[in-house]
Amino acid sequence: MSRIPLLTVETAADDAQPRLAAAEKANGFLPNLLGVLANAPAALEAYLTLGGINAKASLTLAERETVQITAAATHGCGFCVAGHTAIAIKKANLDTAAVEGLRTIAPLADLRLAAVQAMTLAVIRTRGAVSDEELAVFKAAGFTDASALEVVLGVSLATLCNFANNLGQPELNPQLEAYRWDKPHALAAE
């Protein structure tokens, strides 16, 4: 059971209702994360706004989902791992091996995705103070300074939703059950 109430379009504050209604229409269901965030309409607005901005980044959808799943697994957020696994499979067309590597923070065969995964882990581990070598390795994979900043953007988005989920502890929506993740990574406990 969620520690923070799961609000709906009908029970949320007036300023949160249009955002929840739009999210429910876009997803076909209301993700419980949004029901938690609706308790603080400013947090809901921040999450949805930042998500929209992140979607405009130059990183591909697969690369953005690499950031999201890596961060969620690192932060121990099963809800976000499940939700982003669904997007990675259904929309970004990532193969099973890549998705499993992201969920377990294991090495990836795709060199670009591996570079994004490594940069995401470095950004989280160092709180953005990645080493010159880590940045050089990322750039050697074909990325730019802008790409590195977009990884920071993605980590920021992930941190907001991962921490909100970890605080609220909402149940996983039935629509995401096939993507359930119950294996927190070692870094999640640090």
Please indicate, yes or no, if residue 149 is contained in any of the structural domains.
yes
pLDDT in tens, 2-23: 999 999 999 999 999 999 999 9
Please indicate, yes or no, if residue 110 is contained in any of the structural domains.
yes
- C-alpha to C-alpha distances, 46 to 14, 41, 82, 92, 189, nearest whole angstrom: 16, 9, 21, 24, 26
Q: How many domains does the chain have?
A: 1
Please indicate, yes or no, if residue 98 is contained in any of the structural domains.
yes
pLDDT in tens, 108-167: 999 999 999 999 999 999 999 999 999 999 999 999 999 999 999 999 999 999 999 999
Q: Do residues 8 and 23 touch, judged by C-beta distance below 8 A?
A: no
Q: Residue 1: is its pLDDT beyond 90? A: no
Q: Which residues have C-beta within 8 Å of that of residue 85, sequence separation ≥ 6?
A: 69, 99, 102, 103, 179, 181
Please indicate, yes or no, if residue 33 is contained in any of the structural domains.
no
Please indicate, yes or no, if residue 117 is contained in any of the structural domains.
yes
Residue 98, pLDDT score = 97
> Three-class SS string for the chain?
CCCCCCCCCCCCCCCCHHHHHHHHHHHCCCCHHHHHHCCCHHHHHHHHHHHHHHHCCCCCHHHHHHHHHHHHHHHCCHHHHHHHHHHHHHCCCCCHHHHHHHHHCCCCCCHHHHHHHHHHHHHHHHCCCCCHHHHHHHHHCCCCHHHHHHHHHHHHHHHHHHHHHHHHCCCCCHHHHHHCCCCCCHHHHC
Q: Record the pTM.
A: 0.94
Please indicate, yes or no, if residue 63 is contained in any of the structural domains.
yes
**Residue 155: which of 32, 69, 81 has the closest Cα?**
69
Q: Do residues 59 and 152 touch, judged by C-beta distance below 8 A?
A: no
Q: Do residues 182 and 103 touch, judged by C-beta distance below 8 A?
A: no
Residue 184, pLDDT score = 64
Q: Which domain holds residue 74?
A: 59-167+177-189
Q: Residue 188: is its pLDDT beyond 90? A: no
Task: Give the separation between CA 190 and CA 42, rounded to whole angstroms.
Answer: 29
Residue 165, pLDDT score = 95
Task: Give the separation between CA 11 and CA 21, rounded to whole angstroms.
Answer: 12
Please indicate, yes or no, if residue 129 is contained in any of the structural domains.
yes
Can you give the CATH number for the domain in which 97 is found? 1.20.1290.10
Please indicate, yes or no, if residue 37 is contained in any of the structural domains.
no
pLDDT in tens, 41-69: 999 999 999 999 999 999 999 999 999 99
Greatest C-alpha distance within the chain: 51
